Amino acid sequence: MSLEKTEIGEQIALRLPLYVNEVLLTLDKKTCIKCDICSKVCPKEAIKVSVVDKKLEIEIDKDKCVLCGVCVPFCPVGALDIQIDKQSKNILTLHEGLPTFPEKISIDEKKCPEDCRKCEELCPVKAIKVRGPNKVEVNKTICMRCPVCLDSCEDGAIIVNPIFFGSIKINTDKCPEGCDLCVQVCPTKAIEMGEDKKVSVKDRYCVFCGACTNICPEKAIDMGRTRVLHGEGFSSAWNFALEKLTSARSVYLDQDDRARKRLVELIEESRVV
Amino acid sequence: MTGPDQQEKLRIGVFICHCGKNIGAVVDPAAVAEYAKTLPDVVFVIENLYTCAEPGQEEIRKAIKEHNLNRVVVASCSPKLHEPTFRRTLTEAGLNKYLFEMVNIREHCSWVHMREKEKATKKAMDLVRMGVAKARLLQPLEDITVPVKKEALVLGGGVAGCQAALDLADLGFKVNLVEKDPSIGGIMAQLDKTLPTMDCSICILGPKLVDVGKHENINLITNAELKSVDGFIGNFKVKVEVKPRYVDMTKCNGCGECVDVCPVILPNQYDMQLKPRKAIYCSFAQAVPLVYAIDKDKCIECGMCMDACDLNAINLDQEPQEINLEVGTVIVATGAEPFDATRKEEYGYGKLENVITSLEFERIICASGPTGGDLLRRDGGHAKKVGFVQCVGSRDEKCGNKYCSSYCCLATIKQAMLIKEHDPEAEIYIFYTDIRAFGKGYEDLYARGREEGLIFIRGRPSSIKENPKNKNPIIVVENTLTNELMEVEVDLAVLAIGLQPTEGARNVAQMLHIPIGADGFFIESHPKLKPVDTPVDGIYICGTSAQPRDIKDSVTTGSAAAARASIPMGAGKFSVEGITSVLVHPEKCTACAICTTKCPYGAIQVKEKGKTPAIIIEASCKGCGTCVADCPFKALDQRHFADEQIFAQIDAALEEDPEDKIISFNCNWCSYAGADLAGVSRFQYPTNVRIIRVMCSGRVSKEMIMRAFEKGAGMVLVAPCHPSDCHYISGNLHAKNRIDQLYKVLPSKGIDPRRLRLEYVSAAEGLVYQRLIKEMTEQLEEFKKQGIVKTPVKGG
Amino acid sequence: MEDIDFENRHKIINKNKKVVMCLQCGTCTSSCLIPRYLKDYNPRMSFIHALYGSRKAIENPTLWACSVCHTCQDRCPEGVNPTELLISLKELAFAEGLAPKTVAQGTELVLSTGRAYPASAIVDSARERLNLGKLRDVDVKDLNKIAEKTGLREKLNKLKG
């Protein structure tokens, strides 16, 4: 039994139409940065990002998707949403089957100097809007957790929490001449084309989304995540997602971490007061 | 084994039956009796009005004693009806029951030649001559008795299967109830109320299901399917595959903690896909066993259920399990499926959101359904105006279902009454062609319906449209009582769907070797007298697997099947007919082992090819005769259907005017029954055909066919079962191979191959047999005109 | 109602064996497109009249309104073949001269020109404009021979009065 799929404008909707109940998955293709995170974490491999006419396209297979909602919390731009009976709800996170992630960004407005708009001007995704003196608005949904704004602020007002750690390397000898597809798709503008017509990546601003690896026609980019920063919450779905995003070794280390934390907890609990 | 007993002189008694007017009004029994007196070795002939009745049987017993008869021929109806009756009569008179031959002058003569009395009488004489010719060569035989295990298999856990299982278990037999779904209950568990009393369906079914689950004699095997069946009555060897639930049945207590945490939401089949369930689920609250199951296909293996389960009952590594059972009898209660209403495109089901089926309606109106029992549409609005469309998927040759599903007329009235109960102001239309209120209390409910103000419109809607503004269905119909075309706009349209055979029915039929009718349902041995037996001993059918039925008839046939099954199991033994294969000329056997390749039962074996002669395992031998027909050295023969006996019948049939005759070899299970059905249905055909009964078309050897042609037969017909339907599995295939080989050889013997026909005729195809004989007779006339069939030179 | 006219009834049944299966369910009439334009057009009534051997089956002038769209034939649950049945009834009516004048005119047109629609000056000039050749003449000699031999000519003359 497959779901009803509709594509209206820039939105893909997958719907399970029951008689009075309804489960609806929506993917906002405009917001979507076509990274590789949701397609990797999906336990049914229902999401696919592909290159069509040198542009990235995203597709969800209505026969494979089971509306489990694993993809939703992982999306860096909040392009995915699941609504059960018209209310956004995620059963896995509700029951702590998936961990929460640390807050993307917090800005201490009190520290902002007057008329300073440096963070707003430099934010690669235009997530920050300075509305007035000591009044800064952040669209936390599209914030990419990159340290551009943090680096721009001389007053230390901004805290940014990335969640992915890893490494990225572009093997420019594989690059086709003049190709700058990776530059076009990088959401944080971390990749740029130099005067020597060769691309290079500013490591610091890479958030390990994977969009560049998706579009590179020559598989010239080696991007690997080694760690994911996360809060409480655990299940096999998380394990599977973590392994797909990072590696088996990273999963082992993560579990080791968790075990150590738990041990500390237990010791605390058993401490005689 | 063959050849008349040298010691005693033959004393044959012939009994000609009138069968009231059934035979007497067409065939002249007195003339046939007179003729019978002239046949060699016939010492006693008498006419009876009803030979099968007690006075008739007494005549036979008396005649045997007074006239020292040692062979008996009864010319009456089909042996498939009364051969056992008369065999019993012989036994009572002290004569071996196999010294009896029955001649069919009713189904194969008087009933099919009703307007050709003279020719019918002549044919009856021929048939009697054939019967006497065989009787002369009959030998006394002993039946083989097999033990019957006091354990049964019931396939299917709907209300019929549960009833059968409970009855057998209460009688003291062990019952294995195999159900393919994770819970028993079937369609009855999905209904809200039952008619005509408006009892809550699950309330009356629930306790039965609990009884099945608890009964110490019932081994409930759910989430399982039948894989294979071998053996015979008393000793069926059954393989069942239990599909993994991924939940440990010994640990799960049905608490449901796992459900809340499961992230995968799916439509629940029990609620006709209208209500949600999770990937780990229990179909309904009263499920038996009350154990959850995981839809592994959709499960994402997140493990949340495992964490939530305190009893550690979830095991995602469960494997399918094979169970071997040995049972004495099998009851088939596999049920039926609701008609897929998308096949009736004109009604817009699946496209128009407010067109639903009657089963979906049951779930909606039920308090445990998606709306809590409120009659709501998909958009949440209350349905005040409801239109019911009858006969959807029934009585409809365009949908391929010509039969009436019987329960839907009253089921609709019941549903309409339920609406009126909730909302007396509701406007309800019922669009019907006929109202069938056949059951007890049904006419009363129909009357109450009219009293409650249901509006009956006689007309079969041609299509359902939709009002785009409010998505109301508009039913397009002609009111045939007022001759007015109507377009009735309603809030909700309910299609009264019928039942159709299950997808797996054909597979089950093949595994059990039981026949399926033209409509796809299993066929009973006799529509009136044996409504739950099948032609295969020890296998019974009940419930909607045999035909669309209401709950009462399903329960009735369930109990009936249990009663029938308890007969051989209670006796602990069953007799197998002594008509088995026998190595009559062991000196001719070269141990070539060709016979072993023809037997699907492994009943004939050659231990060392080329060295040890063939051995027959009589209890496994079904008596088809295929090995006999294919033995290249004629070392084998079949008891009671010996080569000599059949040749005698062929010769007797062709004694006079052979060029006018069609010799038809009919197999006992299919074409002989098909010809009987043609008789029962009074399908008329020309008198040229002379039917010779064999147990299986596989028995018909090349020698028999050539004998017929050599004696001048105009045409020869071999009528096997349809390719996958042979009662003996493959006899018909071997018959076909043989005849294909014969076709190549016939021209060299001066016989036009078109004079030999192989045509498949099933037990349900009376019409086909009639048309076939008509066609062959016309062809025979042509052949005679063209000189292809010649009148044999007298004395040559 | 008069008695059933068995002769008429058998005449119709012999032409259409399946008419006896009609249950008068009304699927045909409610599927039909014609009642939208011709009120009281009712094929189901034609069939019950046919079953009773009534003259109404062939005397009903609306019989000729059928457009032979086959919707009824597609849907009839008993396999009555209503479209073919209506054509049979038309044949029986035609044989008795009970057909509208337009039927005679249409048939005459085919027999004289070989075409169902007349070729006119308008058609000729349109063809010229489109660079299509002139419509060629059709040889209707054989067609008229067939009309003679099959009795069509006789029936047509009867119709024309």
Q: Say what the ipTM of the complex is.
A: 0.92
A92 touches chain B (CB under 8 A): yes
The residue of chain B nearest to residue A234, with distances taken between CA atoms, is B304
Give the closest residue to B196 by CA, choosing from B497, B434, B427, B413.
B413
In angstroms, the separation between the Cα of residue A22 and the nearest Cα of chain B is: 9
Query: Is there a domain that residue C68 lies in?
Result: yes
DSSP bridge partners of B75? B16, B103
For residues B768, B771, B773, B775, the Cα torsion angle rounded to the nearest 10 degrees is -130
A83 touches chain B (CB under 8 A): no
Phi/psi of residue A155, nearest 5 degrees: -100, 5
Please give the pLDDT value at position B7: 56
Convert the pLDDT of each residue in B276-298 to its tens digit.
999 999 999 999 999 999 999 99
Kindly state the tokens that stand for B248: 């440990």
Judge whether B301 and B317 are in contact, CB under 8 Å: no
DSSP B106: I
Strand partners, B318: none
Residues C70 and C114 both lie in one domain = no
What confidence tens digit (pLDDT) does each residue in C110-161 have?
A: 999 888 887 788 888 899 999 998 888 889 999 999 999 999 998 888 887 6
In a domain, C59, yes or no: yes
The position carrying tokens 């010239």 is A220
Nearest to B593 by CA among B621, B614, B577, B578: B614
Nearest-Cα residue of chain B relative to residue A43:
B300
Cβ atoms of B396 and B346 within 8 Å: the answer is no
Angle between helices C152-160 and C141-149 (to 10 degrees): 80
Residue of C nearest to B344 (CA): C75
Round to whole Å and give the CA distance between B628 and C53: 60
Q: Which tokens go with C59?
A: 């005397």
CA-wise closest residue to B375 among B339, B452, B432, B427: B427
Exposure on the CB side of residue A241, measured as CA atoms within 13 A: 26
- Does chain B touch chain A (at least 3 C-beta pairs within 8 Å)? yes
Neighbouring residues of B496: CB distance < 8 A, sequence distance ≥ 6: B358, B388, B389, B390, B391, B392, B408, B409, B411, B412
Residues in chain A closer than 8 A to B263 (CB atoms): 68-70, 90-92, 97, 237
Task: Confirm whether C56 is domain-assigned.
Answer: yes
What's residue B304's pLDDT? 95
* b/e per residue B231-247 (b: at least 16 CB within 10 A): bbbbbbebebbbbbbbb
Query: Which residues, including other chains, have CB under 8 Å from residue A101's CB and lie 6 or more apart?
Result: A73, A163, A229, A230, A231
If one counts every other C-beta atom within 10 angstroms of the C-beta of residue A1, the result is 9
Q: What span, in angstroms and rounded, lies between the C-alpha atoms of A113 and B288?
A: 71
Q: Are residues C105 and C49 in the same domain?
A: no
Q: What is the CATH number of the domain that holds C41?
A: 1.10.1060.10
Q: How many domains are there within chain C?
A: 2
B776 three-state secondary structure: helix
Chains C and A touch (3+ CB pairs under 8 A): no
For residue C143, being part of any structural domain is answered with yes
> pLDDT tens across B339-375, in order?
999 999 999 999 999 999 999 999 999 999 999 999 9
Residues from chain B that touch A44, judged by Cβ atoms under 8 A, are: 300
pLDDT digits (tens, 9 = 90+) for B412-426: 999 999 999 999 999
Pairing of strands B355-357, B492-497: parallel
Identify any residues that bridge with B539 across adjacent strands, giving them in sequence order.
Answer: B330
Q: State which residue of chain B sits closest to C71, comparing Cα positions.
A: B462
Q: Do chains B and C touch (3 or more CB pairs under 8 A)?
A: yes
One-letter amino acid at B483 equals: N
Same domain, C33 and C111: no
Helix (H, G, I), strand (E, B) or coil at B566: helix
pTM of the model: 0.79
In chain B, the residue whose alpha carbon lies closest to the alpha carbon of A91 is B263
pLDDT at A84 over 90: yes
pLDDT tens across A199-240, in order? 999 999 999 999 999 999 999 999 999 999 998 888 999 999
By Cβ distance, the residue of A18, A23, A44 closest to B275 is A18
- Chain CA centroid to CA B248, Å: 38
CB contact under 8 A, A20 and B370: yes
Pairwise CB contact (< 8 Å): A19 & B304: no
DSSP string, B77-100: S-HHHHHHHHHHHHHHTTS-GGGE
Contact B419, B358 (CB under 8 A): no
- Residue A62: how many other CB atoms lie within 10 Å: 17
B391 to chain C, any CB pair closer than 8 A? The answer is yes
**How far apart are the C-alpha atoms of B657 and B792, rounded to whole Å?**
9
Same-domain pairing of C10 and C77: yes
Contact B187, B583 (CB under 8 A): no
Query: Is B485 in Cβ contact with C29 (below 8 Å)?
Result: yes
Please give the radius of gyration of chain A, using alpha carbons only, rounded to the nearest integer: 20
If asked whether residues C146 and C113 sit together in one domain, one would say: yes
Of B172, B285, B166, B294, give the one whose Cα is nearest residue B220: B166
Query: Are the beta carbons of A135 and B344 closer than 8 angstroms?
Result: no
Residue B262 to residue B281: CA distance in whole angstroms: 9
Within a domain: residue C139?
yes
Instruction: Give the domain range for residue C13.
Output: 6-95
Residues paired with residue B229 on neighbouring β-strands, in sequence order? B238
Residue at a domain's end among C75, C95, C115: C95
Secondary structure of residue B773 in the 3-state scheme: helix
With respect to residue C149, please indicate whether it lies within any of the assigned structural domains. yes
| Cβ within 8 Å, pair B433-C45 | no
Domain check: are C79 and C29 in the same one? yes
Q: Has residue C126 been placed in a domain?
A: yes
Q: Which of A2, A16, A20, A23 to mutate to test the interface with B (most CBs of B within 10 A)?
A: A20
Q: Give how far C62 is from chain B: nearest CA, Å.
A: 15
Task: Decide if B301 and A240 are in contact by the 8 Å CB cutoff.
Answer: yes
Q: Is the peptide bond before B207 cis (omega within 30 degrees of 0)?
A: no
Tokens 């002769």 map to which residue? C7
B194: helix, strand or coil: strand
C77 lies in the same domain as C58: yes
Residues B191 and B362: beta-carbon distance below 8 Å: yes
Residues C46 and C90 in one domain: yes
- CB-based burial label for C24 (10 Å; 0-12, 13-18, 19+): buried
**Amino acid type, B788:** I
Is residue C1 in some structural domain?
Answer: no
d(CA B421, CA B375): 11
In chain A, the N- to C-terminal Cα span, in Å, equals 58
Helix (H) or strand (E) segment spanning residue B208: helix B201-214
Q: Which of residues 630-669 of B touch C (CB under 8 A)?
A: none
Q: In terms of domains, do C68 and C124 share one? A: no
Q: Which of B434, B435, B478, B481 to mutate to test the interface with C (most CBs of C within 10 A)?
A: B478
Provide residues of B within 8 Å CB-CB of chain A.
260-267, 273-276, 279, 298, 300-304, 307-308, 364, 370-371, 376, 378, 380
Residue B132 is inside which H or E element, if any? helix B117-136
Respond yes or no on whether the N-terminal peptide bond of residue B196 is cis (omega within 30° of 0).
yes
Q: How far is the C-alpha of B507 from the C-alpha of C129, rounded, in Å?
A: 67
What is the CA angle B445-B446-B450, rounded to 5? Answer: 115
B436 lies within 8 A of chain C by CB: no
Query: Are B639 and B1 contacting, i.e. CB atoms less than 8 angstroms apart?
Result: yes
C63 lies in the same domain as C107: no
Asked if B433 has any chain C CB less than 8 Å from its own CB, the reply is yes
Contacts of B111 (CB under 8 A, 6+ apart): B22, B26, B679, B680, B682
Task: Measure in Å the smallest separation between the Cα of B492 and chain C Cα atoms.
Answer: 20
Nearest to C30 among B399, B434, B461 (CB): B461
Average pLDDT over residues C1-20: 89
**B477 interfaces chain C, CB cutoff of 8 Å:** yes
Query: For B376, which residue in chain A has the nearest alpha carbon?
Result: A20
Low-confidence ranges of chain B (pLDDT < 70): 1-7, 601, 792-796
Among residues C60, C95, C130, which one ends one of the domains? C95
On chain A, the residues whose CB falls within 8 A of the CB of B260 are: 95
Answer yes or no: do B303 and A236 touch at CB < 8 A. Answer: yes
> Can you read off the two tokens belonging to residue B259?
């459900």
Q: In which residue are the tokens 């491999």 written?
A: A45
3-state helix, strand, coil in chain A (%, to 5): 25, 25, 45
Nearest Cα to Cα of residue B756 among B771, B770, B735: B735
| Closest residue by Cα to residue A24 from A75, A74, A70, A89 | A89
Distance (Å, whole) CA B220 – CA B237 = 18
Tell me the chain B residues in contact with residue A236 when contact means C-beta distances shorter than 8 Å. Answer: 301-303
C86 & C124 share domain = no
CA C1 to chain B, closest CA, distance in angstroms equals 17
Chain C contacts to B (CB-CB under 8 A): 23-31, 35, 42, 44-45, 74-79
Token couple for B251: 């640990």
Whether residues C29 and B398 touch (CB distance < 8 A) is answered with no
Chain B interface, best mutation among C23, C29, C30, by max B CB count within 10 A? C30
Q: pLDDT at position B699, please?
A: 97
CB A85 within 8 A of CB B276: no
| DSSP at C36 | G
Q: What is the pLDDT of residue B771?
A: 97
Q: Are residues C90 and C18 both part of a single domain?
A: yes
- Last residue in a domain, options C48, C68, C95: C95
